[in-house]
Each structure stands twice: as C-alpha cells, then as structure tokens.
Amino acid sequence: MCMTFTSLTLPNMFGDLRSTFIALMIGSYASSAVTFPGIKVIYDFGVSFILILIVWASCAGLVFFNCFFNWPLEPFPGPEDMDYTVKIKFSWMGFDHKITGKQFYKQVTTVGRRLSVGSSMKNPKELVAQEGNKLCLSTVDLEVKCQADDAASPSFMHSVFSPILLLSLITMCVTQLRLIFYMGAMNNILGFLVEGDLETVSLYTSVFGVLQLLCLMTAPMIGYIMDWKLKECDDGSEQAESDAKQDGKKKRKCDRQIQKISNATRAFVFTNILLVGFGITCLIPNLPLQILSFILHTIVRGFIHSAMGGLYAAVYPSTQFGSLTGLQSLVSALFALLQQPLFLAMMGPLKGDPLWVNVGLLGVSMLGFCLPVYLICYKRRLEREKQQRSDDAKLFLKINGTPNEEAFV
C-alpha cells in the first residue's frame, strides 16, 4: 500500500489522462490478490513454502532497486503546478521571479501592454521620460497580479474539513465496510447457502480469487470517465478567455474545473449504483447468483479507489494528495473494524444467516449518494461564479474599454 501511494505521483506525467493512469495503478494493486491462487497451486505441487517466500522477497528486492535507480528524488508536479522561472537582468539590477504557467501569460501581457502604451504616447516630454526609464521597469510591472498563496493553495486543515473530503470519507467508510465484510464472511455465507459442502465452498472461493483480475481490467474505465472531455476544456485562464473572444465562430470551451467535477459526479453515481446492485444480489440466497456478486464486488473495489484518487487529484493541490489519500485510507480502515461485531452478530443471534446484516449494509450504502449530490451543488456554484466573472468582465469592458479590472490609461 505504501508503494502504491508513493507511485501515485507518476500519473502526473500524463496530463489530461492522469485519472486514467491513477485508476490503472490502483487496479493493478487491487488485482494483486489474484497471485495467491497461483501460489496455492504451486504449494499444492509440493514446493516448499519457505522457497516461495524467498522468491517473493527477491522480487520485492528487484522492485526496490528499480525505484532506487529510476525514480526521481523530487515528485512529479501536476499539470496545474508546472512552474516557470522568469529572470530579467539589467546592467545594475536583476529580478528573479518564479511564477506558475497560468500566471506567466498574465504577467507578460501586463508588461507588454504597459510598454506599448508608453511607446504610443504623443507627448514628447512623456515619451522622453518613458524612454529614459526603459531600463528601470517598476516592481509593479513585474508584480504578479494573482491571488495570495493562502487563497490559491488552501491549507491542509482547510482541505480536511472541506465538505468534499468529509463526504468522501463517509462514502469510502461505508463502501469499505460493505466490501470487507463480504470478503471476511464469504466462506460462512457460501457455507450457509450450500449447507456445509466444503468442496463447493472451496470452488467458489477459488473463482472469487481469479476474478480479482477484473480490478485491473475494469479500473481504467472509471479513470476514462474521470478524464472525459478534459482535452476539449480550457483552464479558465485569461489567455483561454481572450482566445475564445477573438474567434467568435468557434464554440466556447467548457471550464476544466467544472468538467472535472461533472466527471467525478458521474463516476461516483455509477460506482454507487454498482454497490447497491451488489447489495441486492447478496440478499438473494441463490448460489450461482453469487458469481455476479463476485464480479460486482471486484469492480466496485477497483472503481471506488480509482474514483476517490481521481477526485482528490482534481479538487485538491498535488502537494496534499498523498496526505489526504493516507488519511482517507486510515479512517476507512478503522471504520471497517466494525465488520467484527457484524460477523459476531451473524454467527451468534442470527445463526449464520446473513440476511439482516446485508439488509442493514444495503441501507447504509445509500449514504454513498451524498457525495455526488453535493458535487452537483458544487458544480452549480462554480458555474454561477464563472458567470459572475463573465458579467464583471463585460462591465469593466463597458466602463474601461478592457475586460480587466485594472484600466490602463
């Protein structure tokens, strides 16, 4: 798990396909359980268990050497965190400002507009004064007109108590409890259906282990949903807005942040529908139908982690991605400890019948829809804010002749 979380910065190299590669990596982690049936077969052929562990440790050592020689010392920055350095040197002073890619275009445009206004002055005295100071650009010209760092990058505690993270913790806790309880009690549930036929239980358990490969095969699907239409969106920068205004014939591109929220909403709605379908199949005491339960269980297990990773990558800064993912895993793991009293209740008062436990877990699973409902409201709020910015730009354009809040005269 630690290796998986450490590797989740690698998908930053793939830009708009980041969520797809996050899903692929989480799917490979979730499907690793498929190796255990193979190890069981090898052990049944008479291979020593100690020898199997030695070979396993050797493979882990190869992974360590691969990470040591090929992994960079610094994390991969996300597409929104790419930095550029602008250095302006004069004969008697120098400036060195590090600004983000979104701010780079704004600064260059601001300085260029000020210089172009200065060179277009018709008053000779003003022109001489402007040219006499052309090597002394004021710090106002070099100042990046952007939000403060605290506003642009929220603090970790602010992210922890944000509604999206709290609702994601509820969704993850409920889903983990539903999935892990089924895995822990699967032998007893199958034994209750077949009335103690151990051979049938062993056969279905082996089928469940092999089906774990579906995590790797289906997880990129949810990643594709998270990355849907991102290439067709702009990032909401002034450059993108000006390009859209210059070319009136082209259809205005959607906002990238709003599209990410829309994609995350679809991903969680789809995942929760599958989770509810899994809960319904668990209520039906039919043995062949449990194969469908195995498939839904495996798909949901890969989908929920991938969708959660894609949501955190879309909403929160990349510097907080690992901390928030670890916090989510810790809280959901602690909540999943409730499987023990549920198991004791099933084996004790319920006499091995999982019906009422499954009914209760199905009802609790409905809480997973709280997150997509909030994401819909959050998306509408972002759309209203975008419309307000557009209206403000039109107002400034009408008053000052420029959509910028600062009028250059």
Per-residue pLDDT tens digits for 304-335 = 988 888 888 888 887 788 889 889 989 999 99
Average pLDDT of the residues in 296-308: 89
Task: State the pLDDT at residue 25.
Answer: 78
pLDDT tens figures, 162-173 = 999 999 999 999
**Cα separation of 323 and 157, whole Å?**
11
Q: Which of 13-22, 55-64, 144-153, 350-359 is predicted with the least confidence, judged by mean pLDDT?
A: 144-153
Say if residue 370's pLDDT is above 80. yes
User: Which residues are paired to 234 by β-bridges?
Assistant: 255
Say if residue 142's pLDDT is above 50. no
Q: Is the dihedral of CA 117, 123, 126, 127 positive or negative?
A: positive
Say if residue 143's pLDDT is above 50. no
Q: What is the largest CA-CA distance in the chain?
A: 101
**Cα separation of 409 and 407, whole Å?**
6
The overall average pLDDT reported for the chain is 76
CB 371 within 8 A of CB 250: no
Query: Over pLDDT 90: what percentage of the chain?
Result: 28
Task: State the pLDDT at residue 291.
Answer: 93
| b/e per residue 184-211 (b: at least 16 CB within 10 A) | ebbeebbbbbeeeeeeebeebeeebbeb
DSSP label of 13: G
Say if residue 290's pLDDT is above 80. yes
Residue with more model confidence, 398 or 108: 398
Average pLDDT of the residues in 9-15: 71
Closest alpha carbon to 22 in 176, 198, 219: 219
Task: State the pLDDT at residue 59.
Answer: 82
